[in-house]
């Protein structure tokens, strides 16, 4: 096993397991199976989010394993996120407290601002809820409220998700507790090289969601001619050379770049397979060949560009999507390359 890549040391000194389980869109019954399979396979990093409405199911399994002695709390690295409806500073503390209650934990290891855009708070999220954009997003105000969570011991670390370089710089300029992570879509067709380099200079590690191209993403994010990351010919050629799956090569490539990965699955054999990436290494030539792949695309929220008439627009009305777990979101979206 290549122990050097099994964790990443964050700027605050914490060690974050480099392979975690993504739980986006996972219904409660399926996520219970997934988390059990992950913990049994050796995962200690679980990534979740309030708006997926499955934190309580994840918490049940965590407590089951902690109480049985199969894992210790200090061995786990649990990540959840501040939802867009709770970005008003007065709502931040209550939001993490709700997540902790569902997760049955006293603290999380990492708490992220989920998106750099705020939705209006109109009561607790329900499966039928429709979210609406707020009139204003105050990222620095939200961050200062987040910092209080560290001081209170409710989270050990803070980070961001889906932030661009200027948004991260804005936070870092005023931060007492600086962000340690930026979680973004990242894979061979969206390598995020410029963002990765900027994050590194600012002291942030990068977590890749959709590292396998999110083949199970919701239908609103799928277009007819989308390339399939798992079927890329360069990746297939290298996988054959090592007698590995294409998923192994995709994950290993990101790990060797220093990027944390959270492949999402609810299938036990895939979950077990996704962590079997520490018994081989890609050569420099293979890494360079992957870096030279010409196909470039973004799978998440690409429709945001099509919905805006102005590049500075922040609001789209009368458009909604429904996720696999039933939560309905307005398709209001601040495209990541524009500041809020």
Per-residue confidence at 3, pLDDT binned at 50, 70, 90?
A: low
Percent of the chain at pLDDT above 90? Answer: 73
Q: Tens digits of per-residue pLDDT, 153-203?
A: 999 999 999 999 999 999 999 999 999 999 999 999 999 999 999 999 999
Per-residue confidence at 293, pLDDT binned at 50, 70, 90?
A: very high
Query: Taking 70 as the threshold, does the pLDDT of residue 135 lie above it?
Result: yes
Percent of the chain at pLDDT above 70? Answer: 82
pLDDT at residue 333, rounded to an integer: 38
Provide Rg for the chain, Cα atoms. Answer: 19
The DSSP secondary structure of 158-188, one letter per residue, reads EEEES--HHHHHHHHHH-SS---EEEEE-BT
pTM > 0.95: yes or no: no
pLDDT at residue 323, rounded to an integer: 42
Q: Tens digits of per-residue pLDDT, 70-117?
A: 999 999 999 999 999 999 999 999 999 999 999 999 999 999 999 998
The distance from CA 243 to its chain's CA centroid, rounded to whole angstroms, is 29
Instruction: Report whether 277 contacts 254 (CB < 8 A).
Output: no
Report the SS3 class of residue 201.
helix
CA–CA distance, 183 with 163 (Å, rounded to integer): 8
Mean of per-residue pLDDT scores for the chain: 87
pLDDT at residue 2, rounded to an integer: 56
């Amino acid at each position: 096993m290549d122990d050097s890549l099994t964790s990443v040391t964050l700027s605050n000194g914490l060690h974050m397991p480099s392979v975690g389980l993504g739980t986006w869109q996972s219904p409660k019954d399926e996520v219970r199976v997934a988390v059990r399979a992950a913990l049994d396979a050796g995962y200690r990093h679980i990534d979740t989010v309030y708006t997926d409405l499955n934190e309580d199911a994840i918490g049940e399994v965590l407590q089951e394993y902690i109480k049985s002695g199969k894992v210790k709390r200090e061995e786990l690295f649990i990540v959840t996120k501040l939802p867009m409806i709770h970005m008003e500073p007065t709502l931040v503390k209550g939001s993490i407290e709700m997540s902790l209650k569902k997760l049955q934990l006293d603290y999380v290891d990492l708490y992220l601002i989920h998106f750099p855009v705020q939705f209006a708070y109109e009561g607790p999220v329900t499966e039928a809820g429709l979210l609406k954009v707020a009139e204003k997003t105050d990222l620095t105000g939200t961050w200062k409220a987040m910092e209080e969570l560290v001081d209170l011991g409710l989270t050990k670390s803070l980070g961001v998700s889906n932030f661009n370089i200027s948004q991260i710089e804005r936070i870092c300029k005023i931060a007492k507790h600086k962000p340690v992570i930026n979680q973004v879509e990242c894979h061979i067709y969206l390598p995020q090289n410029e963002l990765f380099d900027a994050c590194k200079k600012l002291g942030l590690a990068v977590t890749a969601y959709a590292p396998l191209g999110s083949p199970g993403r919701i239908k609103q994010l799928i277009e007819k001619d989308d390339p399939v990351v798992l079927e890329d010919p360069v990746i297939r050629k290298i996988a054959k050379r090592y007698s590995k799956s294409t998923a192994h090569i995709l994950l290993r490539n990101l790990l060797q770049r220093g990027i944390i990965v959270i492949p999402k699955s609810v299938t036990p054999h895939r979950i077990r397979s996704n962590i079997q990436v520490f018994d081989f290494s890609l050569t420099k030539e293979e890494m360079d060949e992957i870096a030279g792949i010409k196909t470039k695309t973004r799978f998440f929220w690409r429709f945001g560009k099509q919905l805006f008439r102005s590049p500075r627009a922040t609001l789209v009305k009368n458009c909604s999507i429904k996720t696999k777990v039933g939560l309905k979101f307005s398709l209001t979206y601040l495209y990541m390359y524009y500041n809020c």
